[in-house]
A and B are shown apart, each in its own frame.
Chain A
Amino acid sequence: MARVGAAGGAGVRVLRWFLLPLVLIGVWWAASAGGTNFYLPTPGAVLRAVGPTWTPATLRADVLPSVARLLAGFTVAGLVGVAAGVAIGLSPALRAYTEPVLEFLRAIPPPVLVPVVMLFAGIDNTMKVTVIVFGCVWPVLLNTIEGVRAVDPVLGEVCRAYRISGWTRLRTLVLRGASPQIMTGLRQALAIAIILMVISEMFAASSGLGFTIVQFQRGYAIPEMWTGIVLLGLLGVALAGLFGLGERVVLRWYFGLRRSGRGAP
């Protein structure tokens, strides 16, 4: 009985997952079928374009560089954001000095920097990675600052009483204590990184997903253009999924603590 119930549960879950996508594709179909709109091909036409458009060679030439830039930018932003966030979070003096500047820098929409960074860094990978870093360092930085400030003062006293200091304190108390907020910041940063990857490639590039989509659009290869957009969406879902897996490992204690309903956070 329980087995049947579980299988039914899984079936329902799969249905819930796929119901809305299927409905949306249906709506797309209804809107495009028999239509004369050149810019809105049917899902079938887009699907037929996938094979010829995305061969292993084009995936290697266009998707791989995009993903590499994205991960490079995201990693640098993560490291810089966490390091600076810990320093600022631990020091009230540093916070007082940096807060107004951070608020200003964060308020600048990162895409506007693409032309500026192009002037300094040219149109190669450095420019794109720089733009990604500049855009997604803020959520990591600000969330880390908040996370470090919110570390339980009781645990801070435990560290002092048991003479736990320096690197151990930083690793065991500060970083682990702030890790839920750091992960929130990284999750936001990942979404921003994808957007900036595409935008920077649309401005100036000779490869990459953003570049390819613009090329297709300029060449009126409309179904091919749509395949690129769908691929971008799938890439976003895959990255978010991978991130979620990592988060479940890093924050296992946090989810357990919340489920147990004990303790402060």
Chain B
Amino acid sequence: MSLLEISGLRKSYGPVEAIRDVSVSLRDGELVCLVGPSGCGKTTLLKCAAGLLAPSGGSVTLGGEPVTAPPPNLAVVFQEYGRSLFPWLTVRRNVELPLREKKVARAERDRLVSEALSAVGLADRGDAYPWELSGGMQQRVAIARAVAYQPSVLLMDEPFAAVDAQTRAELEDLIRSIWRTFGVTILFVTHDIDEAVYLGERVVVLSGSPTVVQETLTVDLPAERDQLTTRSDPRFTELRTHVYAEIQSAKKPTPAP
């Protein structure tokens, strides 16, 4: 039984067809990466899945319920980390805000916030303001906010597109550890092929716009992943080469018969 079901999703902006037909299904507890060439409507797809954008056709269901507005058991980590945190609230208040609105009792709220901040390694920065932190740390705060919200599904929209390579590697490992610790289902959108293969249990390769699913492949790498050994694993290289070739062919216009 799938938890998040995107089926036959279409999205057009007036005459412009952005997404033609995308179906993706996530089982409970899965970590799936969506990868595709830039401009292929990944963000649009994710916003439709989050209930932030109404699709032109097809459907999204979460736990069997149709998604027409952002559901309470779904959290989003946005690409623009510098702009997705409230600069007038401290780190702790940023993480706490959705929980307050959810009417979570004070003691429980404190526990969830502390737990989430510890999980992202920012237990001692709760009183700082987001702009006092580096870009990578700001995205950690956004991840903590999502985790504290206790979603059953976590959607991530190219969350590491704007951080440097070293920070990015650390954050990738953080996602793997959070996924395993909290048992949350994650849909992770990226344009980075290595990142998709390194993180995902499955990788869904999207075509260029108008978007369709080009291929879905299972990443048969060991569950215990490590920046050094996993990335030098011949199987990793094979998979990334395969995805790379797929995306290159996806970028080309449909060949004439």
Contact = CB atoms under 8 A, between A and B. Distances in A.
Contacts of B89: 172
A126 to B, nearest CB: 37
Interface band, chain B: 20 to 34
A161 interface: yes
Nearest to A157: B52
A165 B102 CA distance: 11
B131 A155 contact: no
Given A172-B89, A253-B88, A262-B131, A164 B83 contact: no
Interface in A208-265: 253-254, 256-257, 260, 262-264
A13 interface: no
Contacts of A158: 76, 78, 84
Contact of B86 (A157, A172, A262): A172
Nearest to A153: B83
B86 A154 contact: no
Interface in A79-98: none
A257 B86 CA distance: 11
Interface in A135-185: 152, 154-155, 157-158, 160-165, 168, 172-173, 176, 179
A161 B86 contact: no
B146 to A, nearest CB: 9
A155 B129 contact: no
A162 B78 contact: no
A155 B76 CA distance: 12
A165 to B, nearest CB: 8
B98 interface: yes
Contacts of B100: 168
B101 A260 contact: no
Given A161-B52, A172-B97, A256 B129 contact: yes
B149 interface: yes
Interface in B93-148: 97-98, 100-102, 129-132, 135, 145
A263 B82 contact: yes
Given A253-B88, A262-B131, A154 B78 contact: yes
Chief secondary structure at chain A's binding surface: helix
A164 B98 contact: yes
A253 to B, nearest CB: 4
Contacts of A260: 131-132
A263 B75 CA distance: 22
Contacts of B76: 157-158, 161-162
Interface string B33-77: 000000000000000001010000000000000000110101110
A162 B131 contact: no
A256 B131 CA distance: 7
A160 B98 contact: no
B82 A157 contact: no
Contacts of A168: 97, 100-101
Contacts of B82: 262-264
Interface string B225-247: 00000000000000000000000
A257 B82 CA distance: 11
A162 B88 contact: no
B183 interface: no
B101 A163 contact: yes
Contact of B70 (A160, A173, A264): A160
Contacts of A179: 88
A176 B80 contact: no
Contacts of A163: 70, 72, 98, 101-102
A254 B76 CA distance: 25
A123 to B, nearest CB: 44
Contact of B129 (A160, A164, A253): A253
B132 A256 contact: yes
Interface of A: 152, 154-155, 157-158, 160-165, 168, 172-173, 176, 179, 253-254, 256-257, 260, 262-264
19 contacts: A154-B84, A160-B52, A161-B52, A162-B70, A162-B75, A162-B101, A163-B98, A164-B101, A172-B97, A173-B86, A253-B87, A253-B88, A253-B129, A254-B88, A257-B131, A260-B132, A262-B135, A263-B87, A263-B131
